[in-house]
Amino acid sequence: MNEIALVFAAFFGATAIILGAFGAHLLKKKLSTEQLQSFETGIKYQMYHAIVLLVLGFQLKESSTIDQYIFLAFIIGTLLFSFSIYGLVISSAKNKKIKFLGPITPLGGLFLVAGWLLLFFKFTVL
């Protein structure tokens, strides 16, 4: 599972840089200030969790069940949270907002919170 976390860390890091540059250069002219801020929020959270997955992928050696749940929570949370924001912002900029993505963003946020709480539980109780 550590290898999967490291693969997603690399993927999230690379795509955060690519999408950040895309937002800063190409979308800046097409998005409102509010839309651009939302897009940047997705980028920031994606990069934060890329770094977390990278660190945990190298640090958590035992591959216990809780470690697997932590990795999965961060991976699923980042995919749902950040990528739904990208979809919402880009689709709304084209006046074709993909409405079903709206509830996915907070669900992704819940997965991210769950990952952090599981990490807290691992460090304090186990």
DSSP 99: G
Q: Which residue has the tokens 């660190």?
A: 55
CATH of the domain at 25: 1.20.120
Per-residue pLDDT of the chain (126 residues; tens, 9 = 90+): 789 999 999 999 999 999 999 888 888 888 889 999 999 999 999 999 999 999 999 998 777 899 999 999 999 999 999 999 999 999 998 888 898 999 999 999 999 999 999 999 999 987
| Cα distances (angstroms) measured from residue 98 to each of 10, 86, 94, 106 | 28, 11, 10, 15
Write out the residue range of the structural domain in which residue 56 sits.
2-124
Q: b vs e for 44-65, b when ≥16 Cβ sit within 10 Å of the residue's Cβ? A: ebbbbbbebbbebbeebeeeee
The count of structural domains within the chain is: 1
